[in-house]
């Protein structure tokens, strides 16, 4: 599904290159559930953002579902993102002024789905996530766990093949965190969604099938279960 070859990302500081990612090689198959771990500042978020085409590497080759991403223009990358990727953030990133229903519907509006299709798709996911009763509430009226559920529903609404999550349980208590990880496992096993998450939690990482450890912008180990 995706391949990074000799991917580096650096920032120029004075005359020096400050490497955040340093010669990353990574192959991800469809159906995998990968956890990226490593200390703060090791490059985890940058790697996830590069994979999701939200951040451009300085160097290297990036292939995603048959496309040479490193050769694409911004507009083409954005189209690929819309078609294949859902992103979940640690701090939810919901729009405060929109209801639960409207937050989840937003990506469908950007993707030009018809109103009747949008209605059916949102109704379906509200039902599936058992949050129908919350649909007219605003994010501030929900617990952290419920807000993250809405964030995940929004990420999944357009049926992405690849779900990227940056510390999805970072702001949640351990029970809420386990519920989100159980949901991820189900999405991966039953719906075949490929998942890559960044996490500090070994326990959460073990819900997946492979752990990639980063250290100073390099892959220091890769562990498979
Ligand atoms: P990001 O760069 O994605 O914002 P950080 O690496 O700064 O993420 O850390 C995200 C959260 O995890 C922060 O709340 C931080 O306090 C916490 N954190 C950072 N390092 C560790 C660690 N080694 N173990 C547990 N929690 C950590
Ligand atoms: P992690 O998620 O593992 O905490 P990050 O990918 O967030 O790591 O960041 C890795 C390093 O990249 C950090 O040391 C950070 O200071 C640096 N970095 C990130 N963005 C920039 C930037 N725009 N300019 C300079 N350095 C940056």
**What number is the ipTM of this complex?**
0.68
What residues in the chain have per-residue pLDDT under 50? Answer: none
Do the bridges between strand 162-166 and strand 85-88 make them parallel or antiparallel, or are there none, so unpaired?
parallel
- Strand, helix or coil for residue 23: strand
- The pLDDT assigned to 29 comes to 97
Report d(CA 19, CA 89) in Å as an integer.
Answer: 24
Radius of gyration of the chain (CA): 18
**Claim: this prediction has a pTM higher than 0.90:** no
How does DSSP assign 96-136, residue by residue?
TTS-HHHHHHHHHHHTT--HHHHHHHHHHHHHHTT-GGGTT
Q: How far is the CA of 204 from the centre of ligand 2 (A)?
A: 23
Q: How much distance in Å is there from the Cα of 200 to the middle of ligand 1?
A: 7
Sheet strand arrangement including 194-198 = 85-88, 162-166, 194-198, 33-37, 210-215, 218-224
40 CB near ligand 2 (under 6 Å): yes
| Ligand 1 site, residue 105, Cβ cutoff 6 A | no
Backbone angles phi, psi at 15, to 5 degrees: -95, 5
* All structural domains of the chain: 2-224 (3.40.50.300)
To test the pocket of ligand 2, the residue of 7, 13, 46, 196 to mutate (highest count of ligand atoms within 8 Å of its CB) is 46
Note the pLDDT of residue 112: 87
For residue 5, the CA-to-ligand 2 centroid distance in Å is 20
Q: Which ligand ends up closest to the CA of 9?
A: 2
CB of 39 within 6 A of ligand 1: the answer is: yes
Q: Which residue's CA is the nearest one to ligand 2's atom 20?
A: 46
Question: What was the pLDDT predicted at 156?
Answer: 94
**pLDDT for the residue 7:** 98
For residue range 118-134, list pLDDT tens digits in order: 999 999 999 988 999 99
For residues 35 and 213, what is the distance between their CA atoms, to the nearest angstrom? 8
**pLDDT given for residue 9 in this prediction:** 98
* Residue whose CA lies nearest to ligand 2 atom number 17: 20
Ligand 1 center from residue 190 Cα (angstroms): 30
3 Cα to the center of ligand 1, angstroms: 26
Alpha carbon of residue 70 to chain centroid: 20
Give the residue whose CA is nearest to atom 25 of ligand 1.
200
How many Å lie between the centroid of ligand 1 and the Cα of residue 76? 32
């Amino acid at each position: 599904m995706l391949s990074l070859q000799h991917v580096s990302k650096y920032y120029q500081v004075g005359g020096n290159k400050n490497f955040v990612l340093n010669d990353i090689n990574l192959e991800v198959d469809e159906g995998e559930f990968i956890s990226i771990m490593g200390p703060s500042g090791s490059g985890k978020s940058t790697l996830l953002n590069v994979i999701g085409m939200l951040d451009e590497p300085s160097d290297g080759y990036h292939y995603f579902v048959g496309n040479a991403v490193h050769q694409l223009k911004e507009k083409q990358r954005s189209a690929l993102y819309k078609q294949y990727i859902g992103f979940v953030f640690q701090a939810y990133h919901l729009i405060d002024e929109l209801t639960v229903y409207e937050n989840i519907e937003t990506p469908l509006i950007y993707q030009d789905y018809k109103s009747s299709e949008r209605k059916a798709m949102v109704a379906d996911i509200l039902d599936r996530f058992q949050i129908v009763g919350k649909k007219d509430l605003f994010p501030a009226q929900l617990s952290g766990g419920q807000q993250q559920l809405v964030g995940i529903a929004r990420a999944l609404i357009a049926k992405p093949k690849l779900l990227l999550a940056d510390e999805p349980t970072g702001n949640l208590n351990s029970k809420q965190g386990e519920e989100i990880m159980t949901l991820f496992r189900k999405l991966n096993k039953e719906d075949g969604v490929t998942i890559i998450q960044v996490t500090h939690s070994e326990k959460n990482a073990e819900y997946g099938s492979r752990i990639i450890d980063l250290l100073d912008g390099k892959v220091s180990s890769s562990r498979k279960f």
